[in-house]
Amino acid sequence: MLNVEEIRRDFPILQRQTASGARVTYLDSTATSQKPLAVIEAMNDFYRRSNANIHRGVHTLAEESTALYENAREKIAKFINAPSARQIIYTRNTTESINLVAHTWARANLKAGDLVILTEMEHHSNLVPWHMLAAERGIELDFIPVTEDGLLDLDACRSLLTRGPKLVAFTHMSNVLGTVNPAAEIIRLAHEAGAVTLVDGAQSVPHFAVDVQALEADFYAFSAHKMCGPTGIGALYGKTSLLESMPPFLGGGDMIKEVKLRSFRPNSLPHKFEAGTPAIAEAVGFGAAVDYLSKVGMANISAHEHEITEYALERLEEIPGVKVFGPSADKKGGVAAFTLEGVHPHDVAQILDQDGIAVRAGHHCAQPLHEKFGIPATTRASFYLYNTKEEVDLLVNGIYKVKKMFG
């Protein structure tokens, strides 16, 4: 198990006090995680010692920068058990990773009438690109329903798969409900139906061990900033055969092997999809974040989050007027999205903030899911390796304060 107090000392921002004098209680890691000193210092050291553009230079700094950038890719590949670092494409975030698949694989392989299966619990990042493609190409979209207890309806999934979809794209873990979906089973069923699979791993990779080979995922997308790394960089894992068959995403420097006035040849993987000067320092930070999480241990992180989440759900359910959405703690990650009767979620979040408690309020980029449950918004508390039961108690006390204020 984790020594949480020791871990908390690794995160400078957790020592911060707000204007009211309250110490920050950060319960918004689903939106973005905080960064440990190891990541901050790795990026600082890069800019102080090794900053230069990559791949093209032969001087010392360029070679150091290139090595750091590519070594981070190797670490990321190992972290998700990808067969090769060539299968890790740097992107800006999970959203760009999904859009890369939509703009390249999908535009090369989907035509009018082809079916793409999504789910009702998807983040907008895994909805809007497919809406855009449907408008452009006339593809058909259909959705695996979410049950009242926040799980995917797998019987409905099996029924949809009999219609011969070309792509099944779904989240591994819901950013609202916390539901951890049975990714391996969904991928197996999709493959049996002849479909390619794309998994949104933004909320899974930071919180429990992910093995893309065991899952047999065709594409898997995730972001550094949700896993103790910097903003502005993410990754797309893809099977080599798919990545090699896909056209490039963006045109420019470094994604080419040869350019003539009237033609060009794209570079080999992974550089084929990485046009222009990339986020080099951010890649260094990404690698440092992977090192940090690996040292702590993903099994330890997962067990700690489960304990905190179980405790949080018990405490929240004690509060009259609170309704928590999603399944029980054994079927979800560290997320508790809730409503408080008679109080708008934004008011809840704003009052909690007066005591330094940071939660998220709104539709969390999942409007269709909120519509499914007949609500405009929820307040969301989310937990990570640095959170404690004492912070859950502060959250609960804060909600009682909200109730008192609103009568």
| Residues designated catalytic | 365
Alpha helices by DSSP H, 120-179: 128-137, 154-161
Across the chain, how many H-helices and E-strands are there? 15, 15
In whole angstroms, what is the distance from residue 320 CA to residue 236 CA? Answer: 43
Which tokens go with 171? 């989240």
Look up tokens 């804060």; give the residue. 398
CA-wise closest residue to 362 among 337, 383, 390: 337
Helix, strand, or coil here: 80?
Answer: coil
Which tokens go with 275? 């046009």
Which tokens go with 23? 């110490």
356-362: long-range contacts, CB 8 A cutoff, minimum separation 24: 356/17, 356/18, 356/20, 356/22, 356/23, 356/24, 356/25, 357/22, 357/25, 357/27, 357/394, 357/395, 357/398, 358/24, 358/25, 358/26, 358/27, 358/28, 359/27, 359/28, 359/395, 360/28, 360/30, 360/31
Contact present, 392 and 308 (Cβ < 8 Å): yes
